[in-house]
């Protein structure tokens, strides 16, 4: 008798969890769909002004060889200032994360950016920016899905020891996947650049530093480029707008689950179901 009661209780519990998860997923789909609907109005209100006159064909040639390139003074000073002010005004809303030996810092998710950083949202969805990235990587790209909280995020390194250790940006999508970093701030209280560097390690073991002073744009194929951000020192501030674009954003449930596990490092355990 007791066995039957325990079995029935287990079945009811499992079914209840499944129903709750399905309801939560439906709620999330509706929330993300509403954000996407409102997005075009917000994007139209914040035009992006690109000031770089760099040769895109030369950069594309370098990208095809190296899988990573950087562009100096990408935005107009006014546009950069607006994005930086937005990012700094959101530091307290960012999710802190600490995974010993791997990562320490703060992150503002794509969903939070929809609510609190319309200029950053506009930059990511700007047709001009998308055209630049497509020309650099040599194929048409689009933003990665709305449900991916790392499609667009703001990364903030401002406490001593903030960093992310060597890693690849794994591709969870069908088409090639690219990471784009726009540096919004990179400084130390005493003046000059922070101690936190974007570094790349070649298969030979050789390490290379990429200048991420404010207003530089770095484009790379994270699944091919082993990279890290070295630790900040006391008084450093480094803020990056981090974006991902993809040639084909379709995925499957297994890759989606793997992506969610990866995102727990940035947004905590909720990334598994949110
Ligand atoms: Fe990365």
For the cut 90, the answer to whether the pLDDT of residue 5 exceeds it is no
**Annotation: CATH topology of 46-272:** Jelly Rolls (2.60.120)
Expressed in angstroms and rounded, the spacing between residue 253 Cα and the centre of ligand 1 is 22
- pLDDT of 101 reads 87
* CA distance to 126, 137, 259, per residue, from 264 (Å): 28, 29, 9
* DSSP symbol at 270: G
For the cut 80, the answer to whether the pLDDT of residue 143 exceeds it is yes
Expressed in angstroms and rounded, the spacing between residue 169 Cα and the centre of ligand 1 is 5
For the cut 90, the answer to whether the pLDDT of residue 9 exceeds it is no
Expressed in angstroms and rounded, the spacing between residue 260 Cα and the centre of ligand 1 is 15
CB 154 within 8 A of CB 227: no
Residue in this structure with the two tokens 């992310």, named with its chain if needed: 164
Strand, helix or coil at 165? strand
DSSP 12-64: HHHHHHHHHHHHHHHHHHHHHHHHHHHHHHHHHHS---B-----HHHHHHHHH
Q: Give the integer Cα–Cα distance in Å for 140 and 125.
A: 14
Residue in this structure with the two tokens 């600490």, named with its chain if needed: 98
Expressed in angstroms and rounded, the spacing between residue 1 Cα and the centre of ligand 1 is 55
- pLDDT of 85 reads 97
Provide the pairing of β-strand 226-229 with 198-201.
antiparallel
Return the domain boundaries, the chain.
Answer: 1-45, 46-272
Burial (CB count <10 Å: 0-12, 13-18, 19+), residue 174: middle
Expressed in angstroms and rounded, the spacing between residue 183 Cα and the centre of ligand 1 is 14
- pLDDT of 194 reads 96
Expressed in angstroms and rounded, the spacing between residue 245 Cα and the centre of ligand 1 is 13
Residues 86-140 have pLDDT tens digits of 999 999 999 999 989 899 999 999 999 999 999 999 999 999 999 999 999 999 9
Expressed in angstroms and rounded, the spacing between residue 90 Cα and the centre of ligand 1 is 21
Expressed in angstroms and rounded, the spacing between residue 167 Cα and the centre of ligand 1 is 6
Expressed in angstroms and rounded, the spacing between residue 79 Cα and the centre of ligand 1 is 25
Residues 204-222 have pLDDT tens digits of 999 999 999 999 999 999 9
Q: Give the integer Cα–Cα distance in Å for 115 and 172.
A: 26
For the chain, what is the mean pLDDT?
93
Expressed in angstroms and rounded, the spacing between residue 69 Cα and the centre of ligand 1 is 15
Q: Give the integer Cα–Cα distance in Å for 43 and 268.
A: 29
pLDDT band at residue 238, thresholds of 50, 70 and 90?
Answer: very high
Alpha helices in 46-117 (DSSP H): 56-66, 77-89, 110-116
Expressed in angstroms and rounded, the spacing between residue 165 Cα and the centre of ligand 1 is 9
- pLDDT of 262 reads 84
* CA distance to 76, 92, 102, 128, 168, per residue, from 177 (Å): 27, 30, 22, 19, 12
Expressed in angstroms and rounded, the spacing between residue 228 Cα and the centre of ligand 1 is 7
For the cut 80, the answer to whether the pLDDT of residue 243 exceeds it is yes
pLDDT band at residue 15, thresholds of 50, 70 and 90?
Answer: confident
For the cut 80, the answer to whether the pLDDT of residue 273 exceeds it is no
Q: Give the integer Cα–Cα distance in Å for 142 and 39.
A: 15
For the cut 80, the answer to whether the pLDDT of residue 2 exceeds it is no
Expressed in angstroms and rounded, the spacing between residue 26 Cα and the centre of ligand 1 is 30
């Amino acid at each position: 008798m007791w066995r039957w009661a325990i079995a029935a209780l287990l079945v009811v519990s499992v079914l209840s969890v499944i129903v709750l998860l399905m309801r939560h997923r439906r709620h999330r789909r509706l929330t993300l769909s509403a954000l996407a609907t409102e997005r075009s109005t917000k994007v139209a209100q914040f035009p992006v002004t690109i000031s770089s006159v760099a040769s895109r064909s030369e950069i594309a040639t370098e990208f095809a060889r190296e899988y990573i390139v950087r562009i100096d003074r990408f935005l107009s000073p006014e546009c950069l200032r607006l994005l930086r002010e937005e990012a700094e005004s959101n530091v307290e809303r960012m999710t802190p994360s600490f995974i010993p030996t791997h990562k320490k810092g703060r992150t503002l998710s794509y969903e939070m950016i929809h609510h609190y950083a319309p200029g950053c949202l506009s930059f990511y969805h700007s047709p001009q920016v998308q055209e630049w990235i497509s020309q650099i990587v040599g194929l048409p790209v689009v933003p990665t899905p709305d449900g991916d909280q790392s499609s667009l995020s703001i990364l903030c390194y401002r406490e001593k020891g903030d960093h992310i250790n060597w890693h690849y940006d794994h591709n969870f999508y069908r088409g090639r996947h690219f990471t784009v970093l726009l540096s919004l701030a990179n400084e130390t209280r005493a003046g000059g650049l922070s101690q936190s560097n974007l570094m790349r390690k070649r298969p030979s073991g050789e390490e290379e530093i990429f200048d991420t002073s404010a207003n530089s744009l770095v484009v790379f194929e994270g699944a091919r480029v082993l990279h890290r951000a070295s630790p900040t020192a006391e008084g450093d501030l480094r803020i990056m707008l981090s974006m991902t674009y993809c040639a084909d954003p379709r995925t499957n449930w297994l890759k989606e689950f793997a992506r969610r596990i990866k995102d727990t490092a940035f947004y905590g355990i909720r990334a598994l179901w949110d």
